[in-house]
C-alpha cells in the first residue's frame, strides 16, 4: 500500500511539473481577461502546419474587427495562414488590404467560397444557364487571382436532381468542372470541390471522399482537387486517415472541425493529433482551414482554441 501511495505522489508531482511547463509556454501565456492579450502572446513560435483561423476568429482577443489587425494578431500567435469564406463579398479595397498584409507577413490564404448554393440543382445539369453561371463565377475568380494573388477557390456542386439518373448527373458534374478548369488552368487557380455530410446538408450531390476522388480523376486537371472537411467526413464515412491516404494526390486543402459540435480539436471524437502528424509526415505544405466554432464563448474560448492547436501540434 505504501509503495502505491509513493507512486501516486510521484505521478502527481510529475504531472504538476508538466502542467506548469505547459502553462508557461510563450504561446499559452495570454490572459483571456486582459485588455491587450496580443502583447502577451506576440512572437509565438510558428506551428508545424498551416492551420488557418478565419479572419475575425480572435476578434475579442485582438480587440478589433479590422481584418488587417486580426491578421497581425493571428500571425503573432504562430499561425501562418488564414481563410475567409466570404472573401468575394468584401469590397475591392478591403480585399487588396488583406492581400497586401498577408504578403507582408509571408502568410498563406485558404480557399474562399466561389460557389455554394445548397438550394439549387446546377452542376448536375447540362444546359446553357449552368454554363453561364459557371462562366460568371470563374471570371470573378480570375479577377480576384490577378489582383490579389489568391489562387484557391471552393465549389460545392449543388443539389442532386431526383428526376435525373445519378450516372448522368455525375457525367454532367465532370463536364462542368472541366469547363471550370478551362478558366482556372491558364491562371494557375486551384478549385477545390467539397463533399458535405447528408445529415447537416441533405439533398446535395457531393457527399463522400471516394465520390469526389472519382470525379477529380475523371476531370483530370491540376486545377480541380478536393477539400477534405474532416468534420463532414467523420459524419459521412469516418476512416479519416485511410481516406486521406487514398485521395492524397487529389487533396488541395483541408477543413478542420471536431465532431460532435463542430468546434475546436479536443472537444469531440476525432484524434486530430494523429491526423496532423500523418499529414505532416506526408509533407503537406498547404492550408488547413479552421472552419469551426468555439466550445467556450468570449476571450476564454478564443484562448482555448489556441491551446487546443498547440496541444495537437506536438508530435
Mean pLDDT computed over every residue of the chain = 90
| pLDDT reported for residue 43 | 80
Average pLDDT over residues 281-297: 98
DSSP secondary structure letter of residue 45: P
Residue 172 pLDDT > 80: yes
> Can you tell me the distance from the alpha carbon of 272 to that of 281, in angstroms, rounded to the nearest whole number?
14
Classified as helix, coil or strand, 189 is coil
> Can you tell me the distance from the alpha carbon of 143 to that of 22, in angstroms, rounded to the nearest whole number?
46
Average pLDDT over residues 216-243: 98
35 band by pLDDT with thresholds 50, 70 and 90 = very low
**Percent of all residues in the chain with a pLDDT value above 90, rounded to a whole number:** 86
Q: Which CATH number fits domain 2-312: 3.40.640.10, 3.40.50.20, 3.20.20.150, 1.10.3720.10?
A: 3.20.20.150
For the chain, helix (H) and strand (E) counts, in that order, are 12, 9
Domain ranges of the chain: 2-312
Residue 38 pLDDT > 70: no
Average pLDDT over residues 290-296: 98
Average pLDDT over residues 279-299: 98
Q: Which residues are catalytic?
A: 194, 291
Residue 4 pLDDT > 60: no
> Can you tell me the distance from the alpha carbon of 115 to that of 205, in angstroms, rounded to the nearest whole number?
14
| Residue closest to 130 by CA, chosen among 81, 180, 68 | 180
Amino acid at each position: 500500500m505504501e509503495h502505491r501511495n509513493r507512486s501516486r505522489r510521484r505521478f502527481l508531482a510529475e504531472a504538476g511539473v508538466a502542467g506548469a511547463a505547459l502553462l508557461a509556454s510563450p504561446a499559452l501565456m495570454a490572459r483571456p481577461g486582459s485588455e491587450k492579450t496580443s502583447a502577451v502572446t506576440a512572437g509565438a513560435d510558428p506551428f508545424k502546419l498551416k492551420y488557418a483561423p478565419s479572419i475575425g476568429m480572435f476578434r475579442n482577443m485582438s480587440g478589433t474587427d479590422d481584418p488587417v489587425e486580426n491578421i497581425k494578431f493571428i500571425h503573432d500567435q504562430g499561425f501562418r495562414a488564414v481563410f475567409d469564406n466570404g472573401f468575394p463579398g468584401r469590397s475591392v479595397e478591403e480585399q487588396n488590404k488583406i492581400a497586401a498584409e498577408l504578403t507582408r507577413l509571408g502568410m498563406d490564404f485558404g480557399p474562399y467560397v466561389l460557389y455554394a448554393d445548397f438550394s439549387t440543382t446546377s452542376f448536375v445539369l447540362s444546359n446553357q444557364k449552368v454554363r453561364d453561371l459557371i462562366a460568371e463565377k470563374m471570371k470573378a475568380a480570375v479577377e480576384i487571382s490577378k489582383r490579389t494573388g489568391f489562387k484557391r477557390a471552393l465549389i460545392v456542386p449543388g443539389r442532386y436532381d431526383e428526376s435525373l439518373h445519378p450516372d448522368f448527373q455525375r457525367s454532367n458534374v465532370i463536364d462542368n468542372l472541366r469547363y471550370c478548369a478551362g478558366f482556372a488552368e491558364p491562371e494557375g487557380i486551384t478549385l477545390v470541390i467539397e463533399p458535405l455530410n447528408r445529415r447537416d446538408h441533405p439533398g446535395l450531390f457531393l457527399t463522400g471522399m471516394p465520390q469526389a476522388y472519382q470525379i477529380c480523376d475523371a476531370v483530370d486537371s491540376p486545377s480541380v482537387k478536393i477539400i477534405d472537411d474532416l468534420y463532414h467526413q467523420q459524419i459521412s464515412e469516418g476512416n479519416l486517415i485511410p481516406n486521406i491516404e487514398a485521395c492524397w494526390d487529389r487533396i488541395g486543402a483541408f477543413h478542420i472541425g471536431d465532431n460532435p459540435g463542430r468546434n475546436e480539436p479536443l472537444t469531440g471524437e476525432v484524434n486530430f493529433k494523429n491526423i496532423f502528424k500523418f499529414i505532416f509526415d506526408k509533407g503537406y505544405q498547404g492550408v488547413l482551414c479552421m472552419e469551426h466554432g468555439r466550445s467556450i464563448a468570449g476571450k476564454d474560448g478564443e484562448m482555448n482554441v489556441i491551446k487546443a492547436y498547440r496541444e495537437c501540434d506536438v508530435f
